[in-house]
């Protein structure tokens, strides 16, 4: 069994990871996100993504990049190291790489995944990295959401439950 800490890859090692996996004949699947307050919807999504290849690499937004997205001002709720550890603990996840940029485009270029996956709320041609993956002869796939789960709804539920607490 691989140690959790071994699955968290330094950003500067991304290209070497991609090259190593490709030279071993592995089919790399890539997805990305904030993965704040990991819930069953995330777990099922990541499991489905992992079944599309040999190794699932997850690009994880750093705290700074999460704050640059259109999220609640209280996000991320968990810091990047906590989020990385929880993701790396999942059997379906082969590697986690933090990225600080607004999008994972450079990370995608460096790793060179065979399959790029996002949630079904995206149109494949609108997914960051579409052109890169298509130029390499790869696939862009979307995975349906599991109804009833979202980090935003969990955050609202927690805040509502603790209104007035000080």
Q: Are 143 and 120 in contact (CB under 8 A)?
A: yes
Give the model's pLDDT for residue 16.
98
Positive or negative: CA dihedral 30, 34, 37, 42: negative
Give the model's pLDDT for residue 146.
73
Residue 17 maps to a domain? yes
Residue 132 maps to a domain? yes
Residue 127 maps to a domain? yes
The pLDDT of residue 13 is above 60: yes
- Best mean pLDDT range from 2-6, 80-84, 156-160: 80-84
- What is d(CA 52, CA 92) in angstroms, rounded to the nearest whole number? 11
- What is d(CA 57, CA 92) in angstroms, rounded to the nearest whole number? 10
Mean pLDDT value of segment 52-63: 97
**Domains in the chain, number:** 1
Residue 32 maps to a domain? yes
Cα distances (Å, whole numbers) of residue 138 to 37, 80, 83: 31, 29, 28
Residue 47 maps to a domain? yes
- CATH number, domain containing residue 83: 3.40.50.620
Residue 166 maps to a domain? no
User: Which residue has tokens 């705290």?
Assistant: 63
Give the model's pLDDT for residue 165.
64
pLDDT tens digits, one per residue of 74-93: 778 899 999 999 999 999 99
pLDDT tens digits, one per residue of 99-150: 999 999 999 999 999 999 999 989 999 999 999 999 999 999 999 977 666 6
- Range of 108's domain? 4-161
């Amino acid at each position: 069994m691989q140690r959790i800490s071994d699955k968290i890859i330094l950003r500067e090692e991304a290209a070497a990871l991609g090259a190593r996996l490709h030279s071993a004949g592995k089919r790399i699947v890539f997805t990305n996100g904030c993965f704040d307050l990991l819930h069953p919807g995330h777990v099922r999504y990541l499991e489905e993504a992992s079944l599309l290849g040999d190794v699932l690499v997850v690009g994880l937004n750093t705290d700074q990049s999460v704050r640059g997205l259109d999220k609640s001002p209280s996000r991320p709720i968990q810091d990047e190291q906590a989020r990385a550890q929880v993701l790396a603990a999942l059997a379906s996840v082969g590697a986690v790489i933090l990225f600080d940029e607004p999008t994972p485009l450079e990370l995608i270029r460096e790793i060179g995944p065979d399959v790029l996956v996002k949630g079904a709320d995206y149109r494949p041609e609108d997914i960051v990295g579409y052109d890169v993956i298509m130029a390499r002869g790869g696939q862009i796939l979307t995975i349906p959401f599991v109804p009833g789960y979202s980090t935003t709804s969990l955050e609202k539920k927690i805040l509502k439950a603790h209104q007035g607490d000080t």
